[in-house]
């Protein structure tokens, strides 16, 4: 039995949920901060043309999540 299976068999559900979900939660918060910063830079950099730039970010972002999850799943990174 590998280490992860031993943890699943021996620890409580609450502790497991906290230990296993914390890295994903931190990753999502970092990604949200990146998107907010990216939107601010696009808004300031494009000035009056940011009306087209910011929706572009909103359209492209959802496509990045499945791509990242695929790359992580295939051990590409």
Q: What does pLDDT average to over the chain?
A: 80
Please write down the long-range contacts of 36-40, taking CB distance under 8 Å and 24 or more positions apart.
none
pLDDT digits (tens, 9 = 90+) for 11-42: 888 888 888 888 888 888 888 888 888 888 87
**Global confidence as pTM:** 0.56
Would you place residue 76 in the very low, low, confident or very high pLDDT band (cuts 50, 70, 90)? Answer: low
Residue 59 Cα distances to 19, 49, 50, 56, angstroms: 32, 16, 14, 5
Helix (H) or strand (E) holding 71: helix 50-73
Q: In the chain, where are the structural domains located?
A: 3-73
Please say whether the beta carbons of 61 and 35 come within 8 A. yes
Separation between Cα atoms, residue 41 and residue 60, nearest integer Å: 16
Would you place residue 5 in the very low, low, confident or very high pLDDT band (cuts 50, 70, 90)? Answer: confident
């Amino acid at each position: 039995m590998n280490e992860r299976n031993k943890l699943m068999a021996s620890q409580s559900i609450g502790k497991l949920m906290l230990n296993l979900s914390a890295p994903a939660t931190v990753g999502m918060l970092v990604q949200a901060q990146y998107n907010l910063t990216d939107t601010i830079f696009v808004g300031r950099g494009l000035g009056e043309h940011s009306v087209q730039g910011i929706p572009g970010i909103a359209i492209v972002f959802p496509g990045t999540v499945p791509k990242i999850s695929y790359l992580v799943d295939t051990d590409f990174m």
